[in-house]
Structure formats: structure tokens, C-alpha cells
Amino acid sequence: MVVVFMNEQSQLTERILDQAADAVIYANRSGEIVRWNRAAAALFGYSAEEASGQGLDLIIPEHLRASHWRGFNAAMTNGAMKLQGRPTLTRALHKSGRKLYVEMTFAIVKGDGEVLGSVAVARDVTERVERERAAAHAP
């Protein structure tokens, strides 16, 4: 039997998050970014320091913000979301202003029965989507 103390477990969790290949973003109930791993920094161009404390609008294209916030606020209120666990193709913004296609999964984070926030796991699928669209329009 292996006993892992809380501090060791916390350090292990941090290592896992920082070494994960996919972007992991945790936002609190207000939609403020609290956790941003290395893959998120690589994908979106913002360091963890730049992203921390910012709203999720940092990476959401303007035309998608209203629908995002409707869904986000409903999920925080209801403690459930339609897209939970299902990979969803959407658009996102890079720090440079370039629009990306990303595949994301979302989950509500709860503690003691209370909604604490939301976590998203994302990967860049821009090249795949552009390749598929080009093939669909090829003569």
C-alpha cells in the first residue's frame, strides 16, 4: 500500500497538469482563470501569469461570447452542463489575434456539493479542420 501525503499529492497533481499534452484551464464560478497549464500557454500564447485572474473572454472570439456566457452561467447555477464530457469543436483566440479551431471537453468542478467552477481540456485541431475543409472543396 502506498500512502501519499497531501503535500506530495498536491505536487503530483501540479506535475501532471503541467506535463499534460492538452491545455487544461480551470475557471472559478465568475469565469476568472485560476489554473492554466503549460499546454494552455503554448496553445493560446499567454503565460500562466498573463492568463491568471483574467476572464475567459481572453480566448473566446467576440461573436461567441454571449452564447458562451449564457451556457457558462447556467452551468454554474444548475451544477450541470449540456456539453459535459463530450468533445466539442469550437473557435478560440490566440494572443496574436489568430483564430484557432479547438476541440474541448468541459466539466463542472464541485466541492462538498457546491459548484466551484469549470474545467476545460483543449487541443488545437486547426490543421485538421482546415485540411478537411480544403478536401471537401477540392474539385
What digits encode the pLDDT tens for the residues 116-129?
A: 999 999 999 999 99
Considering the entire predicted model, what is its pTM? 0.86
- In this prediction, residue 14 has a pLDDT band, given cuts at 50, 70 and 90, of confident
pLDDT in tens, 27-43: 999 999 999 999 999 99
Pairing mode of beta strands 114-124, 23-28? antiparallel
Across the chain, mean pLDDT equals 91
Protein fold of 20-137: Beta-Lactamase (3.30.450)
